[in-house]
């Protein structure tokens, strides 16, 4: 069993990472950090603006640096961006420094949840469903590689998902060998 003190949420866009994170952090008494929001705060720019000026590679460099800082910070809950697992070094760091929960959602569920969202740079295309399917094909094995626990958010309303995930974590996550 992974005794990491940091709880990390990974998964595709629209799986519920940023939405569930505050409820989980409150329940477990953890400081909450949304990796994308921390990047925006530090850069003084939005993610779409960073993508526009630095490209995806510039953003990914910032993402890796932020992940390293936050994982070194101790007891916390990190809500990551969907692409954090693309970098092999990030995957290694996640596995060795956090208890990682893969929040799973299908591309159809993501599409429904993201219907009115215009803030995700990689989805600003008319073929959003195809983009989500391609991302799932490429990223699902990477989420599986780092996950200590997989939780399917597709069958739950928000409150139900938080309650069910808390129950699963109470059973499976032992910070420093002590049940959460």
Q: List residues forming the annotated binding site for ATP.
A: 14-19, 120
User: Which residues sit in the known binding site for Mg(2+)?
Assistant: 18
Residue numbers in the known binding site are 14-19, 36, 60, 120, 139
Answer positive or negative: Cα dihedral of 89, 95, 98, 104: positive
Beta 174-175 vs 178-179: how paired, if at all? antiparallel
Tokens of 132: 């989500």
Binding residues for substrate: 36, 60, 139
């Amino acid at each position: 069993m992974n005794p990491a003190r940091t709880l990390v949420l990974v998964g595709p866009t629209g799986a519920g990472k940023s939405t569930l994170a505050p409820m989980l952090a409150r329940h477990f008494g953890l400081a909450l950090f949304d990796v994308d929001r921390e990047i925006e705060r530090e850069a003084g720019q939005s993610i779409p603006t960073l993508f526009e000026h630095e490209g995806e590679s510039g953003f990914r460099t910032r993402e890796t640096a932020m992940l390293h800082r936050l994982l070194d910070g101790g007891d916390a809950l990190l809500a990551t961006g969907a692409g954090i697992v693309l970098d092999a070094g990030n995957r290694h760091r996640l596995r060795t420094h956090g208890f990682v929960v893969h929040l799973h959602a299908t591309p159809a569920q993501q599409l429904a949840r993201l219907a009115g969202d215009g803030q995700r740079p990689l989805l600003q295309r008319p073929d959003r469903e195809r983009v989500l399917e391609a991302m799932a094909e490429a990223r699902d094995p990477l989420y599986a590689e780092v996950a200590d626990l997989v939780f399917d958010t597709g069958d739950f309303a928000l409150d139900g998902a938080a309650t069910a995930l808390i129950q699963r974590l109470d059973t499976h996550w032992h910070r420093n060998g002590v049940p959460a």
